[in-house]
């Protein structure tokens, strides 16, 4: 009985899915496309723009990290697009040995740290000997 219930559930779920129709006559033109690299030193860049308002670009290069012994890929880029209401959404980013660091007005921001917690953190930093058990 459980197997029959599972089969009926799966069949009903398939019939409940919306029918997706492909956009037959909608082709979005590429307005610009520039690709450079990779060059011998490992650097590269690209940027593009489409007819529906999407833009993106990125530059990358190998750099020496702080210890001077290792190379790390340093990337800077951006993308933007209009949301469903036509409002532009833009994001810029850096990606390097410190990770991915995005910036954009639409990204949520953390609330400020309460002053009581800041004071407690300062106290802990000034009194490390009290940290041991």
**pLDDT-based confidence at 61, cuts 50/70/90?**
very high
Per-residue pLDDT, 66:
77
Query: Which H or E run includes 9?
Result: helix 2-16
pLDDT digits (tens, 9 = 90+) for 27-40: 888 889 999 988 88
| Angstrom distance (rounded) from CA 79 to CA 54 | 7
Q: In angstroms, how far is CA 2 from the centroid of its own chain? A: 43
Q: Is the pTM of this model over 0.75?
A: no
pLDDT digits (tens, 9 = 90+) for 105-121: 888 888 888 999 999 99
The residue-averaged pLDDT of 114-130 equals 86
Query: Which H or E run includes 11?
Result: helix 2-16
The residue-averaged pLDDT of 85-94 equals 91
């Amino acid at each position: 009985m459980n197997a029959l219930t599972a089969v009926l559930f799966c069949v009903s779920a398939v019939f409940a899915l919306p029918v997706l129709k492909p956009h037959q006559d909608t082709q979005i033109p590429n307005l610009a496309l520039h690709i450079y690299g990779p060059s011998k030193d490992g650097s590269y860049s690209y940027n593009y723009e489409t007819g529906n308002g999407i833009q993106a670009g990125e530059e990358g290069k190998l750099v020496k990290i702080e210890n001077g012994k290792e190379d790390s890929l340093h990337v800077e880029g951006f993308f933007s697009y209009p949301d469903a209401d036509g409002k532009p959404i833009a994001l810029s980013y850096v990606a390097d040995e410190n990770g991915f660091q995005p910036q954009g007005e639409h990204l949520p921001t953390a609330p400020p740290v309460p002053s009581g917690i800041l004071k407690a953190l300062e106290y802990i930093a000034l009194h490390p000997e009290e940290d041991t058990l």
